């Protein structure tokens, strides 16, 4: 799955558990990133294979003027393949990190091209919402609190978003049960 809990919240925190204000470590940490169907090693293989397959028909024209009419567009096509797959990797460099303390919630999004966004709220007032429709993607997840509503995990697959929503909602319920207990 393109998300994982470094620290999963399975039980409510103790009533006297130190919080964010005391400088304590988070009680739960979630990392989410987009799925990569083509790993970096596969990227090099695809470009290399395109080059080798390109050389097969070109070899019949070696020593003639026609080789230049085939070589230049072919190399441009391979260069374009390299550039567009690399651009896809650069655009997909997203990492979302959700940190939960008993008294604080912090969401950080590291986006492509150095974009960075942060959101903080008190977990007691945060609600997780799953929008079945009406969002940019089906099963769109938002966190609402601190005067704002932010998205999380919109790049995940349709199967992963409801599962992530259930896990975030469970973590929020466990965090809130500490205050009530």
Residue 180, pLDDT score: 52
Confidence at residue 14, expressed as pLDDT on a 0 to 100 scale = 87
- Is residue 147 left, alpha or beta, with left meaning phi > 0 and alpha meaning psi from -120 to 50? left
Spatial contact of 168 and 98, defined as CB atoms under 8 Å apart? yes
Quote the pTM value: 0.79
Q: Enumerate the domain spans of the chain.
A: 3-34+95-180, 40-91
Q: How far is CA 75 from the centre of its chain?
A: 33
* DSSP-assigned letter for residue 84: H
Class of domain 3-34+95-180: mainly beta
- The CA distance from 171 to 100, in Å, is 8
End-to-end CA distance of the chain: 34
- For residue 106, what pLDDT is reported? 97
pLDDT < 50 positions in the chain: 181
Q: How many other C-beta atoms lie within 10 A of the C-beta of residue 67?
A: 14
Residue 141, Ramachandran bin (φ over 0: left; ψ between -120 and 50: alpha; else beta): beta
């Amino acid at each position: 799955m393109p998300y994982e809990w470094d620290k999963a919240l399975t039980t409510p925190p103790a009533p006297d558990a130190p919080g964010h204000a005391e400088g304590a470590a988070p009680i739960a940490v979630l990392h989410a990133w987009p799925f990569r169907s083509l790993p970096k090693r596969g990227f090099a293989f695809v470009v290399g294979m395109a080059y080798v397959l390109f050389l097969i028909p070109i070899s019949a024209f070696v020593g003639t003027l026609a080789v230049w009419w085939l070589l230049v567009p072919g190399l441009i096509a391979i260069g374009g393949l390299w550039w567009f797959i690399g651009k896809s990797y650069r655009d997909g460099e997203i990492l979302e990190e959700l940190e939960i303390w008993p008294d604080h919630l912090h969401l950080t999004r590291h986006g492509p091209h150095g974009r960075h966004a942060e959101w903080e709220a008190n977990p007691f007032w945060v609600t997780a919402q799953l929008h079945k429709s009406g969002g940019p993607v089906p099963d769109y997840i938002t966190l609402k609190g601190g005067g704002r509503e932010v998205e999380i995990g919109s790049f995940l697959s349709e199967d992963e978003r409801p599962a992530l929503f259930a896990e975030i909602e469970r973590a929020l319920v466990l965090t809130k049960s500490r205050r009530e207990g």
